[in-house]
Amino acid sequence: MRNKARWMVSLICLFAGFMVAVQFQTTEAEPEIRDTRDEWEIREALQQEQQNQRELLEKIAGADKTLESYEVDSSQVQLNTLKQSIDVLEERIGLTEVSGGGVVLTISPIFFEGVSGGQTYPEVSPQLLSRLINDLNTYGATEIAVANERLTNLSPIRNVNGSTYVNNRPLPSLPFTIQVLTEQPAKLKDYMEASQARDFFNMENLELEVEMEESLTLPKYDAPLHLEILEGTGE
């Protein structure tokens, strides 16, 4: 190879090497994830984690107690323990009637007099209902029943052929009530009085009335639970 040619090839090699390096960096480079939280946010996150830890520890302690009673006691007592845990679980997922203090929301239609052309009878859409239930849960509702349909964690709220179904049953026509159990009924009532959900209901010509009740009894969820998508943890 003559000298000039050699330098040419070397120069091209330089180019090629540079391009390879740049390409490598481009493909390797990931957007850097930076921690931009300030001290206060970190403190809050830490507190949140501590809260989580405490809750987990409490759960573990409860489970340990149950386990212990299984191990120590006779079979009759074991059976009782089992029954008790089943009762507790059933109550927690809504398979039993519950009563307590809470609020009753009444949804009724608003009619305007003198509207020409007639007004269609308003309906509660699934989106609206979901929103309301989200709000209720946010403000501390423990148990909810929509028009005597107890809501569980698996309760669907959906639109079936134009009407709103809760727990796979159509909602009755308006007006109907939503019963909500909570630990602080007065607080929940205040929240709901001021909540945005009211405005959204008004936009759909629906009135949302909130009343406090000393004692409410919520019906139990009576349909079979479909747990196809759940699996055992395989211990």
Partner 1 sequence: MNDMWLPILFLLIGVSLGLLTDVQVPAQYADYLSIAVLAAFDTLFGGIRAHLERTFDEKVFITGFFFNVSLAAFLAFLGVQLGIDLYLAAVFAFGVRLFQNLAIIRRQIIDQKLLTKFRKK
Residue closer to partner 1, measured from CB, 31 or 234 = 31
- Is residue 4 at the binding interface for partner 1, with CB under 8 A as the rule? yes
Residue closer to partner 1, measured from CB, 34 or 227 = 34
How is residue 187 written in tokens? 């607080």
- Is residue 46 at the binding interface for partner 1, with CB under 8 A as the rule? no
Residue closer to partner 1, measured from CB, 13 or 60 = 13
CA dist 55 and 74 (Å) reads 30
In the list 8, 89, 160, 223, the residue contacting partner 1 (rule: CB under 8 A) is: 8
- Is residue 57 at the binding interface for partner 1, with CB under 8 A as the rule? no
| Distance from the Cα of residue 41 to its chain's centroid | 24
- Is residue 30 at the binding interface for partner 1, with CB under 8 A as the rule? no
CA dist 97 and 28 (Å) reads 59
Q: 110: which DSSP letter?
A: -
Q: C-alpha dihedral over 47, 52, 58, 64, to 10 degrees? A: -140
Q: Quick check: helix, strand or coil at residue 208? A: strand
- Is residue 1 at the binding interface for partner 1, with CB under 8 A as the rule? yes
Q: How many Cα atoms are found within 13 Å in the side-chain-facing hemisphere of 136?
A: 26
Pick the closest to residue 110 from 123, 97, 99, 101 (CA basis).
Answer: 123
Interface size with partner 1, residues (CB under 8 A): 27
Residue closer to partner 1, measured from CB, 19 or 186 = 19
CA dist 203 and 222 (Å) reads 34
Residue closer to partner 1, measured from CB, 6 or 54 = 6
Q: Quick check: helix, strand or coil at residue 67? A: helix
Which residues, 9 to 28, sit near partner 1 by CB under 8 A?
9-27
Q: How far is the CB of 34 from partner 1 (least distance, A)?
A: 17
Residue 131-170 contact track with partner 1, rule CB under 8 A, x = bound: ----------------------------------------
Q: How far is the CB of 29 from partner 1 (least distance, A)?
A: 6
Residue closer to partner 1, measured from CB, 11 or 60 = 11
Q: C-alpha dihedral over 194, 198, 202, 206, to 10 degrees? A: -130
**Contact set with partner 1 (CB under 8 A):** 1-2, 4-27, 29
